Each structure stands twice: as C-alpha cells, then as structure tokens.
C-alpha cells in the first residue's frame, strides 16, 4: 500500500470518527435528515435538538439517546383516535436521553390504548444513565392503558425534576398520575393533579416506587383501586419520601392509605395527607388495612408526619396507619376529630390541638414546617413547596367566617378564583377580592394572575349596588312604539333585573360603561305601563330597586275634523276668522299646527292645512281648508273715499311700574310674535296703531293708551288684535313669562318630597329649582342627585330655566340616530337646535342619551344665552385638559360667577355631569336672569 493511499484511509477514518460523535447520524434509516426533523440543535447535551411542534415532538422516538429542549408550548390535539399517539420508547428500546421543557406546556394529549401490551404515557419507558426530564407541564385530557400507565411515563427509571401533570388516568396494574411505575428514580419538585383509576399498585403520583427518592412533591389526585392504593404512592419498596403531601380522596379494599398504600421497608418523613380514605370492596364490603397516612406499614419508618382526612373501613383501620408490621414510627400525629379514629400508631389530637405548634415537639418549625392560620385551615404545611392563597368570606350570610385555602408551589403564576356559589351576602354583590378586609388594599378580580412567592389573604369585596338609573322610557312618557327600549345605567358589570307591569320581566348585564338596555319581546298593548329596575345581589335576589316609571303606549292616530266650511269665499278686505278644527284622540289637549295663511287684501286661493301630533308621536291625517279672496262685484260709491287697510302697530311696550321691559325680538313693524321675561306679578301693556282710525283690542277689551294685566307664574299668552278701518284684521302674539320669585331670607324653605337628597350638598338648591319648575324628580320621592345627566335631560332643564316655549320639531331633526330621542323630548330637541342651544356631531348623530360632560354642559348653556365669547384661557389647575372648543365658554361662565372650581381648583372638564351639578348651575343662571343672588 503506497503512502498516498495510507494517508487517504487515515483521513477518511478520522472523518468517520468525528462524524459519528453526533448521535444517530450513522444509525437507523433516515437519521441523516435530523436537521429537517427539528427546529435546531444537533442532539448533544451542549446543543440539544429544539422542538417547536407536535410533529417534531413525535420525531423524538427516532433519536432515543439524544437531548431535547422545548422552544414553546406544544398542542397535541392533532393526535386522536384516527391518528393515535404512540408512546416514545418501550421496554426494548427506552428513551435514554433528556428533555428540558424550559417551563413550557404540552397540552391536549389524549392516549387511548386500553389493550396495549406496552407501557403507556407521553413516554412509554424512560431510563438510562445521565438521562432526565425537567421543567415541563403536561395537561392531558385522558390517558388509558392496560399496565404501566402514567401521563409522563408508563415506566420510569430516570431523574424527574420540576414536572407537573394534570389529567385523568385509567389502567389496571401500576397506574399513577405522573408515572405508572418508577424504579431507581429520583423525583423532586413535581406534582400530579386529576383522577387515577386502576386495580393494583395505584397512586396519585406513581403507582409503584422501588429503590427511589421522592422529595418536595405533591399529588392532588382522587385515587381508587382494590389493592395497594395511595394518594401519593400505591406501593413502595426501599424508597425514601420526604417533604411531600397528598390531598386527594382515596378508596380501595386492601392496603389503602391517604399517602402510601403499602410502605415496605421505606421511609416517610416530613409529609402529610388530608384526603378522605375509604375502605370499600366489591359488593359493598368494608376493606381492611386502611390508614389516614399509610395503609400497611411493613418494616417502614415514618416520622414527623400527620394525617387529617376522614378514615373508614372494616378491620385494621387507623387515623395514621392501618396496620404496623414493624419499623420505626415516631413523632407523628393524626386528627381524632376529622379522621374519626382514636387508636393505632401515631398520637391522636383534636382539631384545635392540631393547629397549635406547641403540640409538635421535635418538629422543625423554623426551616421545614410553618403554621399560619387561616392558611391551610391552621394545620402545619411544608414551607418549601407550599404557598397559600386563602379566600375569606368577609361577612357572608353563613354566620361564621367562610374560608377556602389553596396551596401552590412558591413562585407559581396563580389564577385568582371566583367566589364559591354558596358564599352569599344578601343585599350585596360580589365585586372581587381585596388584600384588606375593609377594601383599602390591592384589588383583584377573578381570573387575574398573581406570582405567588408567599402566602396571601384575599377578602371578598362586597358592595351594596347603586340604584340603577332608568333613562328610557322617562316617567310620564308617551310612545307609539310597542317595542320601547327600556334602558338606563348602573354599576359596571352588575346584573340588572327589570320589572315590567309589576312582574319580573328580564335580567340583563350592565356593560363596561354601566349602560344596559332591553326590549320587551312580542310588543306591549296600548295603555299605561310601569317599569322599574334593580340589581341582582349575590343571593340571586333583586335589591336596590329604582323608583317606578309610568309610561303610556299609544298607537292610535288623532282625528282632525273641520269646524265650519271646507271652502270659504270672501271679498277683498273682508275680515277672515278661521273657524278652527276639533281633534279627537285618546289623549287630551292635542295641539294643532296650522300651515299657510290668508291675505284678505290680495285676491287668490289660499289653503290652510291643519296638522296634529299627540305626545306619543302619532300624527293625524292632515286636513285642509280653501279660502278664496275675490274682488268686490262693484266699485266704491259716493265721494270716492277708500277706508285704510293698515292694521299694523306703530309701537308696542310692556312696562313693570315705570321700567320698560325688553321685547324679544326687538319691535319691528312686520313682526307679530314677541316674548318678555319678568318677575313682576302684573305689567302694563301699551299698543299704538299706525293708523289712528284702527282699533286695538286685548282679549276683546279695547286698548286705549295702556292696560294693566295680572300675570301667573309661567307663560302668559296674550293676543292683541288690530282691526283696520276697512275691516282688515291683524293679530299680534305676546308671551310674557313670569319667573317665580326666589324664597325670601327667613322664609320657610321649599318643601321637597325627595328622600334621596337628605343631607346632600345640593339639597336646598334642588328643592328651590324644583319649586321654580326648572327640574323634575325621577319620582315623587326620588331625585337621584348623583346620577349622570343625559343631553336630552339637560336640554329640557335649560329650556325651562330660560322659559323658552317648545316648538314642534317638524323637519328640524335630520340626524341618523334621531329614533333614539324619547317621544316626549322630540320638541325639546327641535327647539334646542332651533335656538342654537344644541348641535349635532360631525357624523350626523345627536346622541340624545349620551352623558353630558361638565364642558358640554357649560357650552350648551352659553350658546343658549348667546354670550359673546373670547377664546381666552382659564385659571383652573387643569386648564390644559379643557377642550379648545369649550375653553372660551368655560371662561365666560366663570366671569359671570356661574362656575367654580372644585378641590384643588380643578374644573374636571371631561367628568360626566351629575343631576345635582346641572341643577346648581342652572339655578345660578335663573337667579342671574331674575336679578337675584
């Protein structure tokens, strides 16, 4: 062999040796494609394969000696009955590598292999020197097998650290929550929760444990098996368990223990069990060898441990150990009251004695155990692996304090629980949890998460719900909608119960902003209806009931009938007096609107149309009358003198004593409608005609010079008629609004029947405004001063303050959401828009039920007053928060001494205005207009 060939062979062998250092690259078919099988890595301890999908997890079976890590959570729901999961590793070729879950989860795992002859789990068999599984959580739906069945592994001979499993496990022999059977294994800081069912060697964590070590672990599993069944381990030999516990209920026929069923030549220390242990066999016979901690202790050592669960069975039954076949059992206790047992190994204590650390001589309460009532109901717990969230009823109807204490591994991310259904407090609703009993601590809601590093007490936070505010229908409202929306506001998140016509009709949730609504299905009959709202308390009963609103459904159209002839013919200059109409409706006093006019000086045909709409919004079919004005059939005779047709006024004045009051609008020859505001109880009216031959009358009384008229509080409608020499008649309408005088100092304050304003800071202002007629209550006894005020409510109050007469909305309302305007408020909104009090939004909405902010309230008032506004800043501390469109208006109201700052000189421009705040502001405005303080 020449030198060149030798060198080639040496280089090739070195290449092969180097290449073979990568696991699997030269064994098993297809392994050369490892780079495509995983998300990264080469399978060594220094560079493990990276798993990101269920498919990649499935490829682990092709690299049983390699090392793996998870890069994220894995969903295994793709493996089902049609595509079943095959456990990784078997008794011939076990998984001998390692898997570090890096605290990620495997979820959706389902395994159905009830007839399989192989071990069943995520892994069938795991073992091998240097292998381990750690930092992993598995949420399994269900795992079924025959023998050797567990969620993580059917057979386990490796190191398991910080692994948690949850799910239901079913099998026959060697069945456990984490592993079916473990031999020569070290398990630490791990847990299992769920249920486990089998027939022999069945445990919450592992069904069988041989030659192993278990520490700092727990099982919260309900377990059942005829033989050798335990809440933690079913049967163990030559095993050491410490610093661990079990909380599940255990049932079996023989060798049944709350912690270990059969403890053979093994040691249990610093551990406990709390679940009920029931000895029950087939056909209902009671089992034997039943213990609160250990069923059968065969040459086993037990120390510094306890049991408190109920224990029942036939023979060989004990609060701590069912039967003790040797070994060293010392410094152990059981609860005589709870277990119902008084004999056997261990010392029995009462429940109260169990909760006193002085009764545990020799126990380490400095580093191993802790006892902090009410956590763990006052019983000892293992401080290294237990941190508690303890929920406190905090005044429930139970009489005694209700508690619920849940244990977690320290550092766990814990989801806050909802309250138990049987925790109730009449008249209150459950708002959430708080770290302080008085609600002054940190607040938590159900499903919030906490990083639990130490014990925490969470007190139920009970709140008396505020009385819901009924927005629609308004009290006294008429509507022609048989499906009226019943709506209002309440505390966020409460359940509102609606009573319609005296009976509970529906329950609806309040939204995040507190708003709620409901439409009665099927439609309501015409007639009077009542509605009220309350809040469902924690007992499921209504509380905090609102005042009842009455509203009327009316779908019947009014009917208009003409008085007099449908067609009238007059000669030019002849007087025309409209005969009028009558309106028939289920409602009374339906106003009539007349459109069109007759000029009796100009020949032609004139049409008068009569319209009527009732309060429910039902419009009558319009009726018309025709008036023909024709020239006289012959001319004037005699001297040729033609009488004047001038029926105008040259001057109109209204005086209070000697002071002339302001006419609105200012007097002009062509204007025939005027308004005056005054606090006087009588005024003098003077009217001078343009033609001295014309006659002026006031309510049929001839007016020469001036006439004194007595006024009622509110609107006084007067008609002045000017009849020209020729007979031509012209009518002037004068509305004098008399404002009520404020209460004189020393006089008795207005009497209010509102019960919910007693002691309120605005009580006297609300009463005064109510007496004047500016505001109305929600009922005779309820005002709801702290309820937010809507745009439509504030506009109605503002128009009353200003004495502005409501006009028919007609076609003024052209908004996309005008159907949300309550029927009673249609004319209110139309009048407000016509007078510049209210404007719509750029998106052509009016938002009548929108809550009014303090800025919007000031702007609407200032626009109604037509104040000249300068765009100047304010002196408020939160001036920067005032919107640009509102700042000048706010400053204008400040200059007029109508608006003041709150605490800290803040205006709070975007806060919703309350009914009390709106009332106070408008009362100040009314006083200013009336000349009082």
Q: Which of 297, 254, 255, 252 is nearest to 278 (CA)?
A: 252
Query: Mean pLDDT lowest for which of 5-9, 142-146, 777-781?
Result: 5-9
The confidence score (pLDDT) of residue 440 equals 93
Residue 433 three-state SS = strand
The confidence score (pLDDT) of residue 464 equals 84
The confidence score (pLDDT) of residue 843 equals 65
- 409 token code pair: 């591994």
pLDDT value at 236 more than 70 = yes
Q: What percent of the chain has pLDDT over 70?
A: 93
Residue 834 and residue 773 in contact, taking contact as beta carbons nearer than 8 Å: no
Residue 203 three-state SS = strand
Instruction: Please report where in the chains the tokens 């939204």 appear, as a residue.
Output: 511
Residue 134 three-state SS = strand
The confidence score (pLDDT) of residue 637 equals 44
Query: Mind spelling out the 3-state secondary structure of 219-268?
Result: EEEEEECCEEEECCEEEEECCEEEEEEECCCEEECEEEECCEEEEECCEE
Distance CA 307, CA 332 (A): 9
Query: How do residues 871-926 score in pLDDT, each as one tens digit?
Result: 778 888 888 888 888 888 888 888 888 888 877 888 888 888 899 999 999 998 99
The confidence score (pLDDT) of residue 32 equals 45
The confidence score (pLDDT) of residue 642 equals 65
CA terminus-to-terminus distance, the chain: 125
Strand ranges (E), 739-838: none
pLDDT value at 541 more than 60 = yes
- 275 token code pair: 């679940």
Of 234-243, 597-606, 848-857, 868-877, the range with the highest mean pLDDT is 234-243
pTM over 0.95: no
Residue 115 three-state SS = coil
pLDDT tier at 226 (50, 70, 90 boundaries)?
A: very high
Query: How do residues 261-308 score in pLDDT, each as one tens digit?
Result: 999 999 999 999 999 999 999 888 899 999 999 999 999 999 999 999
Instruction: Please report where in the chains the tokens 């590093």 appear, as a residue.
Output: 453
Distance CA 715, CA 479 (A): 26
pLDDT tier at 429 (50, 70, 90 boundaries)?
A: confident
pLDDT tier at 743 (50, 70, 90 boundaries)?
A: very low
pLDDT value at 851 more than 90 = no
> For residue 11, is it left (φ>0), alpha (ψ between -120 and 50) or beta?
alpha
Q: How many CA atoms lie within 13 A of 98 on its CB side?
A: 19
The alpha-carbon radius of gyration of the chain (Å, integer) is 45
Distance CA 275, CA 248 (A): 5
More confident of the two residues 59 and 731: 59
Distance CA 308, CA 292 (A): 7
Query: Mean pLDDT lowest for which of 13-27, 595-609, 781-795?
Result: 13-27
Mean pLDDT of the region 381-385: 95
Instruction: Please report where in the chains the tokens 């000048």 appear, as a residue.
Output: 888
The confidence score (pLDDT) of residue 18 equals 44
Mean pLDDT of the region 763-781: 86
Query: How do residues 128-142 score in pLDDT, each as one tens digit?
Result: 888 999 999 999 999
Distance CA 93, CA 64 (A): 8
- 925 token code pair: 């405005």
Average pLDDT, the chain: 87
Residue 330 and residue 347 in contact, taking contact as beta carbons nearer than 8 Å: no
Residue 617 and residue 823 in contact, taking contact as beta carbons nearer than 8 Å: yes
Distance CA 157, CA 179 (A): 10
pLDDT value at 837 more than 80 = no
Query: How do residues 108-130 score in pLDDT, each as one tens digit?
Result: 999 998 877 899 999 999 998 88
Distance CA 288, CA 311 (A): 11
Q: What percent of the chain has pLDDT over 90?
A: 49
Query: How do residues 195-216 score in pLDDT, each as one tens digit?
Result: 999 999 999 999 999 999 999 9
Query: Mind spelling out the 3-state secondary structure of 77-110?
Result: CCCCCCCCCCCECCCCCCECCEEEEEEEEEEEEE
Residue 472 and residue 487 in contact, taking contact as beta carbons nearer than 8 Å: yes
Three-point CA angle 437, 443, 444, nearest 5°: 115
Distance CA 772, CA 813 (A): 30
Q: Which of 607, 606, 596, 598 is nearest to 573 (CA)?
A: 598
- 760 token code pair: 């309120």
pLDDT tier at 842 (50, 70, 90 boundaries)?
A: low
Residue 249 and residue 221 in contact, taking contact as beta carbons nearer than 8 Å: no
Q: How many helices (DSSP H) and strands (DSSP E) are in the chain?
A: 11, 65
For the four alpha carbons of 430, 432, 434 and 440, in that order, the dihedral sign comes to: negative
Residue 10 CA: distances (Å) to CA of 20, 22, 672, 751:
15, 20, 122, 114
Query: How do residues 564-588 score in pLDDT, each as one tens digit?
Result: 889 988 888 888 888 889 998 887 7
DSSP string spanning 832-885?
HHHTTS----TTS---TTSBPBHHHHHHHHHHHHT----------TTGGGS-HH
| Helical residues (DSSP H) of 402-527, grouped into ranges | none
pLDDT value at 65 more than 50 = yes
CA 658 to the chain's CA centroid:
63
pLDDT value at 393 more than 50 = yes
Domains of the chain, earliest start first? 226-364 (no CATH), 386-463 (2.60.40), 469-551 (2.60.40.1220), 559-630 (2.60.40.10), 649-738 (2.60.40.10), 755-930 (no CATH)
- 634 token code pair: 């012959």
pLDDT value at 415 more than 80 = yes
- Edge-to-edge strand order for the sheet containing 649-656? 659-660, 649-656, 682-689, 706-710
Three-point CA angle 579, 582, 585, nearest 5°: 170
The confidence score (pLDDT) of residue 52 equals 98
The confidence score (pLDDT) of residue 391 equals 94
Query: How do residues 694-735 score in pLDDT, each as one tens digit?
Result: 888 887 778 877 888 888 777 888 888 988 877 788 889 999
The confidence score (pLDDT) of residue 16 equals 42
């Amino acid at each position: 062999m020449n030198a060149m060939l030798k060198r080639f062979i040496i280089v090739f062998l070195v290449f092969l040796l180097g290449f073979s250092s990568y696991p699997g690259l030269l064994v098993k078919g297809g392994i050369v494609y490892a780079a495509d099988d995983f998300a990264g890595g080469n399978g060594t301890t220094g560079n493990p394969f990276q798993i990101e999908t269920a498919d990649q997890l499935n490829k682990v079976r092709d690299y049983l000696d390699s090392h793996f890590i998870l890069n994220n959570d894995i969903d295994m729901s793709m493996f089902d009955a049609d595509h079943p999961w095959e456990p990784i590793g078997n008794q011939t070729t076990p998984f001998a590598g390692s898997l570090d879950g890096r605290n990620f989860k495997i979820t959706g795992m389902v395994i159905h292999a009830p007839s399989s002859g192989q071990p069943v789990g995520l892994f069938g068999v795991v073992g091998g020197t240097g292998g381990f599984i750690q930092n992993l959580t598995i949420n399994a739906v269900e795992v079924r097998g025959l023998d050797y069945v567990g969620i993580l592994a059917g057979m386990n001979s490796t190191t398991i650290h910080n692994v948690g499993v949850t799910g239901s496990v079913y099998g026959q022999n060697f069945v456990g929550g984490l592993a079916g059977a473990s031999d020569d294994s070290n398990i630490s800081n791990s847990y299992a929760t769920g249920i486990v069912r089998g027939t022999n060697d069945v445990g919450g964590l592992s069904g069988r444990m041989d030659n192993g070590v278990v520490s700092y672990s727990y099982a919260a599993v309900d377990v059942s098996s005829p033989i050798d069944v335990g809440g933690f381990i079913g049967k163990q030999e030559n095993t050491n368990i410490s610093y661990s516990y079990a909380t599940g209920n255990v049932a079996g026929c023989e060798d049944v223990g709350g912690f270990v069923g059969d403890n053979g030549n093994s040691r249990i220390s610093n551990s406990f069990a709390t679940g009920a242990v029931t000895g029950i066999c087939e056909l209902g016979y009671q089992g034997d060898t039943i213990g609160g901690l250990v069923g059968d202790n065969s040459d086993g050592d037990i120390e510094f441990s306890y049991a408190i669960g109920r224990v029942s069975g036939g023979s060989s039954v004990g609060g701590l150990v069912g039967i003790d076949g040797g070994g060293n059992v010392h410094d152990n206790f059981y609860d005589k009251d709870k277990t119902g047992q008084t004999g056997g190994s261990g010392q029995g204590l009462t429940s109260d004695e169990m909760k006193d650390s002085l009764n545990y001589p020799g126990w380490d309460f400095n580093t191993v155990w802790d006892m902090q009532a009410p956590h763990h109901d006052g019983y000892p717990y293992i401080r290294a692996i237990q941190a508690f969230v303890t929920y406190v009823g905090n005044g429930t109807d139970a009489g005694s304090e209700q508690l619920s204490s849940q244990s977690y591994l320290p550092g766990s991310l814990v989801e806050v629980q909802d309250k138990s259904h049987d925790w109730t407090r009449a008249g209150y609703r459950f708002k959430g949890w708080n770290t302080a009993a008085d609600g002054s601590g940190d607040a938590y809601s159900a499903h919030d998460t906490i990083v639990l590093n130490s014990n925490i007490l969470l007190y139920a936070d009970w709140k008396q719900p505020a009385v819901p505010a009924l927005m629609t229908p308004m009290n006294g409202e008429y509507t022609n909608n048989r499906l009226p929306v019943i709506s209002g506001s309440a505390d966020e998140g409460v359940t509102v119960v609606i009573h319609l016509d005296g009976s509970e009709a529906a329950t609806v949730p309040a939204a995040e902003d507190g708003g709620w609504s409901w439409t009665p299905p099927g439609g309501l009959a015409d007639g009077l209806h009542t509605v009220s709202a309350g809040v469902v308390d924690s007992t499921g009963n209504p509380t905090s009931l609102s005042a009842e609103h009455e509203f009327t459904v009316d779908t019947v159209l009014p009917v208009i009938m003409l008085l007099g002839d449908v067609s009238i013919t007059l000669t030019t200059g002849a007087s025309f007096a409209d005969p009028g109409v009558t309106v028939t409706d289920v409602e009374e006093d339906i106003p009539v609107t007349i459109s069109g006019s007759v000029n009796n000086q100009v020949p032609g045909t004139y049409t008068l149309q009569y319209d009527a709409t009732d309060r429910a919004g039902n419009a009558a079919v319009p009726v018309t009358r025709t008036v023909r004005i024709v020239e006289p059939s012959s001319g004037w005779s005699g001297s040729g003198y033609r009488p004047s047709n001038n029926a105008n006024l040259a001057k109109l004045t209204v005086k209070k004593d000697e002071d002339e009051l302001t006419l609105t609008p200012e007097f002009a020859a062509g204007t025939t409608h005027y308004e005056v505001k005054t606090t006087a109880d009588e005024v003098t009216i003077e009217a001078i005609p343009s033609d001295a031959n014309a006659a002026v009358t006031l309510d049929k009384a001839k007016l020469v010079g001036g006439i004194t008229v007595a006024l009622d509080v509110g609107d006084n409608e007067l008609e002045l008629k000017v009849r020209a020499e020729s007979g031509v008649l012209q009518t002037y309408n004068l509305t004098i609004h008399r404002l009520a005088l404020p209460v004189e100092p020393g006089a008795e304050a207005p009497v209010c029947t509102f019960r919910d304003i007693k002691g309120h800071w605005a009580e006297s202002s609300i009463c005064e405004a109510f007496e004047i007629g500016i505001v109305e209550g929600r009922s005779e006894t309820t005002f709801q001063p702290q309820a937010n005020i809507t745009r439509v409510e504030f506009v109605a109050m503002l128009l009353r303050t200003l004495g502005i007469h409501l006009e028919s909305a007609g076609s003024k309302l052209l908004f996309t959401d005008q159907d949300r305007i309550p029927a009673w408020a249609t004319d209110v909104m139309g009048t407000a828009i016509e007078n510049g009090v209210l404007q719509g939004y750029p998106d052509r909405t009016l938002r009548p039920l929108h809550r009014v902010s303090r800025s919007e309230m000031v702007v609407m008032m200032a626009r109604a007053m037509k104040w000249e506004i300068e765009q100047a800043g304010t002196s408020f501390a939160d001036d920067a928060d005032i919107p640009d469109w509102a700042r000048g208006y706010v400053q204008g109201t400040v200059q007029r001494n109508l608006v003041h700052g709150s605490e800290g000189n803040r205006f709070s421009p975007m806060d919703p205005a309350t009914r009390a705040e709106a009332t106070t502001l408008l009362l100040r405005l009314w006083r200013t207009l009336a000349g009082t303080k």
